[in-house]
Amino acid sequence: MATFLYKLGRLAFRRRHFVALIWVALLTLAGVGAASAPAAGNTSFSIPGTEAQKAFDLLEQRFPGMSADGATARVVFKAPKGEKMTDAVNKATVEKTVTQLRSGSEVASVADPYTGHAVSKNGTIAYASVKYEVSGMELADSSKDALTDAAQDARDAGLTVEIGGDALSATPETGSSEIIGIAVAAVVLVITFGSLLAAGFPLLTAIIGVGIGVSAITALASALDLGTTTSTLASMIGLAVGIDYALFIVSRYRAELAEGREREDAAGRAVGTAGSAVVFAGLTVVIALVGLSVVNIPMLTKMGIAAAGTVAIAVLIALTMIPALLGYAGRRIKPAGQKSRLLGGGRTPRKPDRPNMGTRWASFVVRRPVAVLLLGVLGLGAAAVPAASLELGLPDDGSQPTSTTQRRAYDLLSEGFGPGFNGPLMIVVDAKGSADPKAAFAEVGDEIKGLKDVVTVTPATPNKAGDTATITVVPDSKPSSTTTEDLVHAIRDKGADIARKTDSQVLVTGSTAMNIDVSQKLNDALLPYLALVVGLAFLLLIVVFRSILVPLKAALGFLLSVMAALGAVVAVFQWGWLSGLMNVEETGPVMSMMPIFMVGVVFGLAMDYEVFLVTRMREAYVHGEKPSQAVVTGFKHGARVVTAAAVIMIAVFSGFIGSSESMVKMIGFGLAIAVFFDAFLVRMAIVPAVLALLGKRAWWLPRWLDRALPNVDVEGEGLRAHAAEEEKELVRA
């Protein structure tokens, strides 16, 4: 592989006009496709195999036109101090608002508070329930505008009005911290390369790759039912790996120049060596993202595949466009250790023979491997302790910032009707096989009334055929509490007993039950996903490093860093540690998608650092250095660039911590702390310590396996033979 990529790098360097034209053309085509594509509606959301989804599907069949999974909104009214919602003036305002809401094109029904018993006991709070024909993800902006306009008219009349439910989606505010994160990334690149031009290449190629990927997703969004979250994930991952991959190759190019090679040859060798690491690092990211399909959530599968496509583009751009840009830059890209004149280049260094920081650190670790290993493992183990208390759930309006109308509506409903009112459960009773459906409906209602944590059970509402009914249950606890989750399981357990007695089926659904089912599905999929991703990557790394112990160490180190990161997330967002510093307004369960999402993203980035750092060690070892010296050599050439890549990623991910959205804040913090743990504690401390302890055994591989594995030559051994052949041909000529 190294020889093939070497030739590709030289070709791209020589034919830079052609290569640049191809990528500009692809970016233009993708942009035109995105601009001319039909506007995509929001993606549909379904969770196959869950009880809540089965209930929704059954309602669609038995209650045609009901729009069981349609968006809902609760317009909550509060009377001015000293007044009640039953006062004539306030009642007239509410009825006018209800009439205004009913005129919406996508509205299925609006329940009047005064006819639907939706006024609190003290008479100060009331709400109107709005049901839409389409889901919250598919709701048109015009319908959302009509909803907010109606609420504003009621506010102008003197009432306090807030809107809850899934019809309105709060737009997260990231503030200036995200811009600061990108600015930090740019500064780190300039410091790393000592050149504005060289620093700009990784940013430029990453932006082009993300532009092509996101534009392609936008162009295909309508045909493939892709939502806005798909392009968001693709852009975030694509930007992260795009910068990393370009950084690796530009850094290796400058190192080759420092060894006295001609620029075209240096570009070829950079792509042949660092490019090989990029290819295999990219493959691990693709495996991690495509592996999201094992969760069997269609939206998550599409997000993973789209992001994997963007990563593949980032790899191709790094292998072709970076050497082309290096060809355009010419002598303006300085060898490693030299800076541009603008940044102080040309000065005589004070201590030219002093080893760099990476060399000094690796030498220290090689001398004290046991102490470094114990400190690293114990530190990460201590950080991972809170993960034992991990509780998973999906955010509801109660986790929104208090500045949002959703959160204020949530609080008003809790004040007027109790905390469980924000998460009612819908019970679907399928009595088609029952001899007495009405008796079955009554039996279900009576059984549920006898359960703990139940405040209200409404009478059964049957369909026209009389064989299916819905019952609404209001819990005593808030939707995201473990008590409400226990109630859902208790109802389902009772449903199994009722099914045997009455020949009917009892299903629990609604947004609260759906959130519980999604959390359970994600939790159940975590171990198979881990086994798939880590297992496939382990096999891939065996091919790359031609070793058993090095890939095993890489996988175990990754698991340790992810557990430590999850522990930190639990401590901050579930326990409330440092919540003031992180501006966490409401603690609660960790977002159910967080563990799988963290595994997928961080695994890819961790393997980037592992492959790039350890391939330099493998390269030095294959070329004759002792194992301990190979570790130091690997750090001499790779520590600076891996550190820069990690700092950039931490800065970018930390930008999301400033978001007003709890879920976005959690993702930003989790990814930033995970990259910190993995890059600086695992790859920079535990990895060299383990390799120093193992010595030659680290690179042991059974002979039969060595013969069976393909020789991908990531360390560039084949380049020496290729160079020798070229020299012989020159001599003959």
Q: What was the pLDDT predicted at 567?
A: 93
Pairing of strands 590-591, 392-393: parallel
**Cα-based distances in Å from 514 to 269, 382, 392, 486, 589:** 53, 34, 13, 14, 15
Residues 6+ apart with CB under 8 A from 503: 431, 433, 434, 435, 440
DSSP state of 686: I
pLDDT tens profile 2-16: 788 888 888 998 999
pLDDT tens profile 316-330: 999 999 999 988 888
Tokens 């811009």 — which residue? 179
Residue 652 buriedness (CB in 10 A; 0-12 / 13-18 / 19+): buried
Pairing of strands 425-430, 505-509: antiparallel
In the chain, the largest separation of any two C-alpha atoms, in whole Å, equals 105
User: Around Cβ 465, how many Cβ atoms within 10 Å?
Assistant: 10
- Cα 426 to chain centroid distance, Å, stands at 31
Q: What was the pLDDT predicted at 720?
A: 62
Q: What was the pLDDT predicted at 585?
A: 67
Residue 47 buriedness (CB in 10 A; 0-12 / 13-18 / 19+): buried
DSSP state of 661: S
CA distance 593 to 301: 13
Q: What was the pLDDT predicted at 620?
A: 82
Residues 6+ apart with CB under 8 A from 221: 37, 40, 227, 230, 231
Confidence grade of residue 370 (pLDDT, cut at 50, 70, 90): very high
Q: What was the pLDDT predicted at 349?
A: 47
**Cα-based distances in Å from 370 to 119, 561, 682:** 68, 19, 14
Q: Which of these ranges, 179-193, 195-209, 562-576, 672-686, has the smallest mean pLDDT?
A: 179-193
Kindly state the average pLDDT of the residues 599-606: 78
Q: Which of these ranges, 118-132, 417-431, 488-502, 571-585, has the smallest mean pLDDT?
A: 571-585
Q: What is the pTM of this model?
A: 0.78
CA distance 419 to 413: 7
Q: How far apart are the first and last CA of the chain?
A: 28
pLDDT tens profile 138-157: 777 788 888 889 999 999 98
**Cα-based distances in Å from 638 to 49, 113, 135, 546, 672:** 47, 67, 50, 20, 21
User: Around Cβ 48, how many Cβ atoms within 10 Å?
Assistant: 11
* Strand partners for 10: none
> Percent of the chain scored above 70 by pLDDT?
88
The two tokens of residue 4 are 């093939």
